[in-house]
Amino acid sequence: MFLITGCIDAIQKDSGSIKIAITKTNDYYSALVERNGDNTEWVNLYGLQIDSAIIVLQQCDGLLVTGGEDVYPGLYGKLYDTARCEGFDRYRDSLELASIAIALEKKMPVFGICRGLQILNVALDGTLIIDIPTDFDTLVKHRFNDGKKCFHVVTTVPNTLIYKLSNVFTDTVNSAHHQGIDHLGNGLKISAFAGDSLPEAIEWANRNNKGFLMATQWHPERLDPDHPLSKNLAVAFLHEAEVYHQNQ
């Protein structure tokens, strides 16, 4: 408890900084925040008791929901298909669902990456494809066996947030997933597709009276730092966090 209290106190002391809560970080995710935002700090929620993580989150200005393990299929009505998944972190599922609920309630900016897109979809009552190679007949490789250096083309949807921010219609991105969106969550729309029509990005269908929300199936934190489907998205998220901070 002492460590958690110290973390909260540290967050509260410097009210001038923009603070991003990261659900589970590594050097790539923290670097994405650090290189694209001035006067921006981040805090790792993973490892905190969930009630303590929510206290920390409520002192922050944005939520970054990151990549990782499969989301437990019992959370989206496919408990019968658990055997075809590749490992879970039930604590993380609970942490992220609780964090997403608070962030959406407070209209805090939210940016999801890979698993982050998937659990955002689940949080809004969507479902996931259990295994893309088996369940989604595709010639597009979304992951290599080593989980690295898999690239494919995505196409953005005109007049969406992703398209407006990146000014990109088609481009090549990285990929490292075997699951994806099946039924789309409530209030969402798809803003980018892979060549096999698999959803690659989501956002609000109508943002009226909602906070900023954007999620990608690709990994912006591992793309070239100046890639428009990395830098432009991160800068926009952090700008929204700054606006949120100023309005608190």
Active site residues per annotation:
114, 219, 221
Rounded Cα–Cα distance for residues 131 and 134 (Å): 6
Supply angle C-alpha 229, 88, 84, rounded to 5: 90
Contact 142, 130 (CB under 8 A): no
- Rounded-to-10 torsion of CA 181, 183, 188, 192: 40
Residue 225 vs residues 14, 234, 242: alpha-carbon distances, Å = 28, 10, 21
Cβ neighbourhood burial of 247 (10 Å; 0-12, 13-18, 19+): exposed
Helix (H) or strand (E) holding 40: strand 40-44
Beta carbons within 8 Å of 245's beta carbon, 6+ residues apart: 18, 19, 61
Residue in this structure with the two tokens 């540290």, named with its chain if needed: 10
* Alpha-helical segments (H) within the chain: 2-13, 27-36, 50-57, 90-105, 115-123, 132-135, 161-166, 231-246
Residue in this structure with the two tokens 């496919």, named with its chain if needed: 78
Helix (H) or strand (E) holding 174: strand 170-175
Which amino acid, 133? P
